[in-house]
A and B are shown apart, each in its own frame.
Chain A
Amino acid sequence: MVFENNQHEIGTLPSIDAVQYERVSPKYVRARISVLGIFFVASIMILTILSLIYPNYRLLFYLLMILMALFGSILVFYIFKSYKHIGVVVRDHDIMYKEGLWFRNEMVITFNKIQHIEISMGAIERFFNLSSLKIFTAGGSGSDLEIHGLERQNAQKLKDFILGNISSEEE
């Protein structure tokens, strides 16, 4: 094979700047808040029972409940705010994902280095008809990517698209 190595002006290369991120399903916010809600209700119940069993420490348990409510509302605020910053882009040769409200993380994985792809569904996700897509690369979990909150059929489509691209590149 003749080794070709054409020069490319950096300015003309395809740029990440130009892409438009797609959001994941809005139901993802509801799913996350439900998880939080279930956890919250369960802990309030446990604390109530505990305060009935140990009336001497009632004040402590009430304090804990207030703290939990405070912390919970911050989390709810964070879930709402951070949703806008979650985004996915699929291009010809790679998939891009971004997340994070304060500490932002944009990640690109090239299709030709993907090892395998998994779709998973938790109980709550199943209730909302959502799926998570997990993309595995070689060399440990550091460069693996997990995208939560995709519509179930979209996750399957995405998986098929990426797998199709991997096999077409290998030919």
Chain B
Amino acid sequence: MPFDIPQRQSPFALVLILYRTYLLLLKQIWPFAIYFIIKGNFGSKGSFLKVFIASAVVIMIISIIRYFRFKYSVVDREFIIEKGILNRKKTAVSIDKIQNINSEQNLIHQLFGIEKLRIETAGSSALEFELDAINTSKARELKSYLLESRIPLINDDSVMAPIDKKLIFKLSTGRLMLAGITQNHLVSILILFSFFFWIYDSARDAGINVEDYKDNIPDYTTQVTNTIILLALLFVTGILISMARTALKYYDLSFIEENEQNFKVKAGLLKRMETSAPINKIQSITWSYNLLQKPFNLYNLNIRQAVSDLRELKRSVQIIGLNKCQIENFSQELYPDLDISELTYETINVKYLTRFSLYFMLIILLGILLYFLIDGFISAIVLVLIGGYGILRTYLYYLKMGFRLDKNYLVLTGGIFGYKLTILPLYRIQAIKLLSTPYQRRNQLASLEIWSASGYVKIPYIPTMKARQISDYCLFVSEISQKSWM
């Protein structure tokens, strides 16, 4: 038994803990610190400095105690963590319940040759453990020890010999750059813009008269050129930021089939992430592309796993830069009894389009009214733009939304400016909601929400009869299924 004696983490964990708590302390006190440094005195007889040093020392002592009190071990098929400074706390979980062990290495981890392990269990999030810093070799040992000594789940159709690791996909640098360029940059551009205006506003609040500087610029054309240059600069910076983020996150991405039961994704430059996706935990897959990615044959793949809390979904496995062929091969491998290329899709009711267009039409009308009643030109323009954009979105959503109930799968297409497709095996379904508003009921329509352990998919505005048939069939397949679903 290699792990039956309680062990501490790597001593570098102490460095990490200290680093993190000091960062926290610094975040709390930096305004005071700057104030005192600028003023040049540190309170009477340097009292501020004393308080600061004292709290730093206290934090250091607490961190050291915390480090020495934190121990992990594996005893009697249970993974045990002991921690706590004043009251000792011991948490144990059976290793058969461990579902996933993911590792993470940021820059500091990589420098010291350590790894952060996150141990995921079925059920509540209170039983999820994080080991901050373990030597890479020991981490691998612990990982394989825990995962291999589990009693394998009884899975009738999976008695197959383990195969060697197979590399499904590796993202080349060229395609990484391409995927970075074709990202949706709007978010980072908007953040940059709002940041810029925030600075502009704060500068004005702080008494710096921004208008004063404008007077130095002689003529109108120079002002306009300057504004355009500024906007272009913000625009380009925004694009560069989101490109860099993509490149850092997905650098050297490789998608590996570990064995018949498990996929694994490794990626990242500064922060190296290693995420595994056991096949029986994969609830649904979604692939998508946006307007820019379409001509380059760039697909994003999102593998959704069972989570104990929907907020964890952002940790779901995301792979970018695939091409159509690779996507289809993967889907074929994961869902062999589904032939995605031969499917035709049903559409939602046209009342979805007319109803929501009406709402946005009202917003446009309000804008026009505002213009004539109170001469609010800017607000009128904004309202008309919002209304117009809303109608466009509704129209595109209506056009692209489609669903197909296959024998064992529910397949949904959608997207607004881009395209996306979701495959949900019916036996993963755990709940179905049928929602209706008075308007929908007058027209014998309803919306359907289909829930699995990784959230829901929605089919809006279909005939109530149809919704009930889909619901009946999905429940039937899910209820007779004996397969393990998470």
Contact = CB atoms under 8 A, between A and B. Distances in A.
Residue from B452, B475, B486 with most neighbouring chain A CB atoms (10 Å): B475
Given A17-B468, A137-B430, A103 B485 contact: no
A102 interface: yes
Contacts of B315: none
Contact of A142 (B157, B438, B451, B471): B451
A103 B472 contact: no
B471 A140 contact: no
Contacts of B454: 139
Contacts of B129: none
Interface in B423-464: 429-438, 441, 451-456
Nearest to A103: B437
A112 B283 CA distance: 16
A155 to B, nearest CB: 20
Contact of B310 (A10, A108, A140): A140
A8 B472 CA distance: 12
Prevailing SS type, chain B contact patch = mixed
A105 B433 contact: yes
B453 A138 contact: yes
Residue from A104, A111, A137 with most neighbouring chain B CB atoms (10 Å): A104
B431 A107 contact: yes
B272 to A, nearest CB: 28
B478 A113 contact: yes
A74 interface: no
Nearest to A98: B434
Interface in B186-228: none
Contacts of A114: 430
B306 interface: yes
Contacts of A94: 475, 479
B453 A139 contact: yes
A54 interface: no
Contacts of B472: 10, 13-16
Nearest to A141: B310
Contacts of A70: none
B11 interface: no
Given A110-B431, A112-B479, A137-B431, A143 B451 contact: yes
A5 B157 CA distance: 14
Interface string A87-126: 0000001100000001111111111111100000000000
A109 B429 CA distance: 9
A92 B397 CA distance: 38
Interface string B22-40: 0000000000000000000
B475 A113 contact: no
A108 B468 CA distance: 11
B485 to A, nearest CB: 7
Contact of A140 (B436, B455, B475): B455
Given A104-B441, A112-B481, A143-B430, A137 B451 contact: yes
Contact of A113 (B307, B431, B471): B431
A142 B485 contact: no
Given A112-B481, A138-B453, A142-B451, A105 B306 contact: no
B156 interface: yes
A107 B310 contact: no
B470 to A, nearest CB: 9
A3 interface: yes
Q: Interface residue tally of chain B, by bracket?
A: 35 or more
A59 interface: no
Contacts of A115: 123
Contact of B455 (A1, A104, A142, A145): A142
Nearest to B452: A139
B473 interface: yes
A140 B307 contact: yes
A5 B431 contact: no
B314 to A, nearest CB: 13
Interface string A19-31: 0000000000000
A102 B451 CA distance: 23
B78 to A, nearest CB: 21
B182 interface: no
Nearest to A108: B432
Contact of A109 (B308, B431, B476): B431
A14 B451 CA distance: 20
Contact of A110 (B309, B311, B430, B486): B430
B479 A139 contact: no
Nearest to A135: B431
Interface string A136-165: 011111110100000000000000000000
B349 interface: no
Given A102-B437, A109-B431, A137-B430, A143 B476 contact: no
Given A3-B157, A111-B479, A140-B307, 15 more contacts: A1-B157, A15-B472, A16-B471, A17-B468, A103-B437, A107-B431, A108-B433, A109-B430, A110-B430, A110-B431, A112-B478, A112-B481, A137-B430, A139-B452, A143-B433
Interface of B: 123, 156-157, 283, 306-311, 407-408, 429-438, 441, 451-456, 468-469, 471-473, 475-476, 478-479, 481, 485-486
7 contacts: A3-B157, A10-B473, A14-B476, A106-B434, A110-B430, A110-B478, A143-B456
Interface of A: 1, 3, 5, 8, 10, 13-17, 93-94, 102-115, 137-143, 145
